[in-house]
Amino acid sequence: MTSRLKQAFASGKFVVSGEVGPPKGTNIEEMLQHIDLLKDKVDALNVTDNQSSVMRISSLAVCKLIREHGGEPILQLTCRDRNRLALQSELLSASILGVNNVLCLTGDYITIGDHTEAKPVFDLDSVQLIQALRQMEKGKDLAGNDLQGAPQFFAGAVVTPEADPIEPQLLKFEKKVKVGAEFFQTQAIYDIGNFKKFMQYARQFKVKIMAGIVLLTSAGMGRYMNQNVPGIFVPQELIDEMAGAPKGKALEKGIEIAGRMIRQLKDENICDGVHIMAIGKEAVIPDILSAAGLNGA
């Protein structure tokens, strides 16, 4: 197994990943443009798995396309839509397609998406999914049966440094580490001071941590996330800074803020990399990297 993402971490560089959201429907032109634009600028590209419980093209299919276009995909795999048979089957499929990075997630609940009457699965949780993945690498499936050929993965998980309350979140984080998660992408962080405190704690574990960077596109978005998105805290001064941007320049301001944060995370060696989520604005990721002083992978 060659994971270019794992190699990037091993080289000691500050690792950057981006994100591709597969479309709903078979028109993939715009997505392919984003893939071609980003594949050489970042170390890896996450592909979301029916993001926000909205039905779309599968993560695995798009991961394969990224491979074909010369990029390094990270398969996001959630427990919402698949039982343990389907999850393990998906892992084997990923392996034979050369998709070697997997991000194991619980998944959003069904009712927040566009098929609210669907049956939620959640047969495994994210900890058990990582466990299953590690067991398959040893040649056994979850039921203890032998595999004819074992997959190898670079396995990741997520953590929410701003979770409130934080203790149950850290308990689960430690379980993910214990069962073999090698890298973590965090929920969006905006308060570097708070994040530093989380990293002081997280540094005791031998795992790579990528800070989640979500591009702010307006002051309202910051206020909305504070009100409505669990585990996200946007400090008032950032909201004020966004609000103070001249008319029509809010996106530029958001890019500047994201770039500034990434630069600080890297220069102060706070974490091992960043995962940039420019939801719907993937085309500006190169601008964020320039603002951060990073010239691409």
- Least distance from C-beta 129 to another protein, angstroms? 9
Q: Phi/psi class of residue 36: alpha, beta or left (left: φ > 0; alpha: ψ in -120 to 50)?
A: alpha
Report the residue number, 230 or 293, with the smaller CB distance to another protein.
230
**Residue 279 interacts with another protein (CB under 8 A)?**
no
Asked if 75 contacts 102 with a C-beta cutoff of 8 angstroms, the reply is yes
**Residue 144 interacts with another protein (CB under 8 A)?**
no
Least Cα distance to 90 among 54, 127, 99 occurs for 99
Interior/surface letters 47-56, b for 16+ CB within 10 angstroms, e for the rest: bbbbbebeeb
**Residue 185 interacts with another protein (CB under 8 A)?**
no
Out of 91, 103, 158, 278, name the contact with another protein by CB under 8 A. Answer: 158
| C-alpha–C-alpha distance, residues 12 and 18, integer Å | 19
- Least distance from C-beta 57 to another protein, angstroms? 23
**Residue 54 interacts with another protein (CB under 8 A)?**
no
Least Cα distance to 213 among 63, 7, 15 occurs for 15
In single-letter form, the type of residue at position 43 comes to D
Cα 171 to Cα 40, 159, 177, 182: the distances in Å are 36, 11, 10, 17
**Residue 168 interacts with another protein (CB under 8 A)?**
yes
Out of 60, 187, 270, 286, name the contact with another protein by CB under 8 A. Answer: 187
Out of 52, 85, 114, 120, name the contact with another protein by CB under 8 A. Answer: 120
Q: Per CB under 8 A, which region of 4-12, 18-26, 175-183, 234-242 contacts another protein?
A: 175-183
Least Cα distance to 210 among 3, 1, 42, 36 occurs for 42
- Least distance from C-beta 244 to another protein, angstroms? 29
By CB under 8 A, name the binding residues for another protein. Answer: 79-80, 84, 106-109, 111-112, 120, 122-128, 131-132, 142, 158, 160, 163-165, 167-169, 171-172, 174-175, 178-179, 187, 230-231
